[in-house]
Amino acid sequence: MKKHVVIVGGGITGLSAAYALLKRAKRDKLNLTCTVLEKDNRLGGKIRTHRENGFVMEEGPDSILARKPAGVELIRELGIESEIVGSNPKGMKTYILHRGKLESIPPGTNMGVPMQFRPFATTKLLSLPGKARALLDLVIPKSTVESDVALGPFLRRRLGDEVVNNIIEPLLAGIYAGSVDELSLKATFPQFLQLEQEYGSLIRGSLRQRQKVPTLTANHGRSVFITLRSGLQTIVERLHDELHTWADLHINTAVTAIHRTEGGQYRLTATRPNGTFTLTADAVVMTAQAPVAAHLLRPLCPQAETLGHIPYVSTAAVLLGYHQDTLNVSLEGSGFVVPRAEGRGITACTWTSSKWPHTAPSGQALLRCYVGRAGQQEPLQQSDEDMVAMVRAELEDIVGLTSKPWFTRVVRWNAGMPQYLVHHREKVENVQEKLRTLAPGLFLAGAGYHAVGIPDCIADGESAAERALQFVGFEH
């Protein structure tokens, strides 16, 4: 009998799950079908590239962390490995805004944890007492708390407030758009806890790890981060090419209810512009945002209500295009990040065409500024016009850029970034455990639960697909 897997959500997690099902179906000649239901008017979720006048503008994530293999492996499987581009070696320098001035991030750090003495000793980002306090990490005993704790207090105990506020917090904010003092240690950076437990010190542990692992990944031989020459949306387009003749791909389709049948299958009700329809699934992979999942799963599993308490914050990206000959400043490096204490509307700025030269045609420059993070949502209340004016004023103040961009583009991601607060992992695991009993064959995957970043979302989608196959009787 043919088995049917339905995937709720057509972002990179859902598409990766569908592609994993397709590969197994082809390889093992499985009697399997798949349907993907996406409420938006396009597939790909936050992976979105705008291509215009020779510019390649990422509206969502702009790169892939190459040391996590799932991203590069998928690119290779899709036959677009030749599209891989490493970040410009001449544009690797990143700055942090400190007391109104840009200071270089000291080289040789592990997400802000010092691994080289000289850059750490000479950086202007820390005072002498702040540097001395950070070195106490070498002698402070490791923590004995076994339950989850907030990332900020853990790091402050080991390295002191200055390192956290001036270096670590702005770097981490670019990943989670969250507050370091509220994010979960175990759900965001469990490696810090592992370093402390294994080596008794974050500095010592980072040094040991650096000796074991090369600085640059062997996946591509050029840089830690990669992108694709024609934009990351190329991954979504190639996944569509592979999937559309095998899977049923629906956009503008919102799932409104999921019920379990007497036979143990799932009946999904969905709406689209031309009406409502139902379909039956032998297994369901849920990749929708946590509040949506909570609403749909609550009738099947009351404990799913806790998913609705996972907060999301909004962000925006402001893209600015310039004629190179009108720029009155040199944009060397990859850009800068902004600590909360600086009180700016901009949280970070990427000098995109310096970091990724292929993103702008000859004679042009492209910048991307980020606005909004947890606790700093007010700048997002502005109109697009006012937001651009704010960004331009802050760029003039920070880097002296007075040139007028010849085009601007504002992209808003409302409630787009899930916040992994303390005990996030335990809450999600508890829901998954209850689902195994109350709704077997229904699996959670995606950014709201386990995965932040493209490679993790891909891996999570592939893992959920494998569990769905096992549930319907197709063992590996």
- The DSSP-derived string for 273-285 is TTEEEEEEESEEE
Q: Which amino acid is at 202?
A: L
Reported pTM = 0.94
Q: What is the DSSP string of 300-338?
A: T-GGGGGGGG--EEEEEEEEEEEEGGG--S---SSEEE-
Mean pLDDT over the full length of the chain: 94
Among the ranges given (154-168, 200-214, 406-420, 443-457), the one the predictor scored with the smallest mean pLDDT: 200-214
Cα(122)–Cα(119) distance, rounded to whole angstroms? 5
Q: In which band, very low, low, confident or very high, does the pLDDT at 371 lie, cut at 50, 70 and 90?
A: very high
Q: Which CATH class is domain 3-46+231-310+420-471?
A: alpha beta
Residue ranges with strand state E in 324-406: 335-337, 346-350, 364-371
Residues 6+ apart with CB under 8 A from 471: 282, 283, 440, 441
Dihedral sign for Cα atoms in the order 445, 448, 449, 450:
positive
Task: Give residue-wise pLDDT tens across range 247-305.
Answer: 999 999 999 999 999 999 999 999 999 999 999 999 999 999 999 999 999 999 999 99
From the candidate CATH numbers 3.90.660.20, 3.10.20.30, 3.30.910.20, 3.40.50.2000, the one assigned to the domain spanning 313-418: 3.90.660.20
Query: What H or E segment, with its residue span, contains residue 418?
Result: strand 407-418
CATH code linked to domain 105-212: 1.10.3110.10
Please report the pLDDT score of residue 220 as a whole number: 40
pLDDT at residue 218 in the model: 40
Q: What confidence tens digit (pLDDT) does each residue in 142-162 have? A: 998 788 999 999 999 999 999
Q: Does the pLDDT at position 221 exceed 70?
A: no
Q: What angle do CA 216, 76, 356 make, to 5 degrees?
A: 50
Q: Residue 376 in contact with residue 347, Cβ under 8 Å?
A: yes
355 in Cβ contact with 335 (< 8 Å): yes
Contact 458, 16 (CB under 8 A): yes
Query: Rounded to whole angstroms, how far apart are CA atoms 316 and 380?
Result: 7
3-class DSSP state for residue 162? helix
pLDDT of 44 higher than 90: yes
Domain with CATH 3.90.660.20 in the chain: 313-418
Ramachandran quadrant class, 335 (left: phi over 0; alpha: psi -120 to 50; beta: rest):
left
Task: Determine the average pLDDT of the residues in 462-476.
Answer: 93
The ranges of the chain annotated as CATH 3.50.50.60 are 3-46+231-310+420-471
**CATH 1.10.3110.10 domain range(s) in the chain:** 105-212
**Kind and range of the H or E element at 58?**
strand 55-58
From 30-34, 98-102, 141-145, 460-464, the region with the lowest mean pLDDT: 141-145
pLDDT in the model for residue 92 = 78
Structure tokens belonging to residue 79: 């036959």
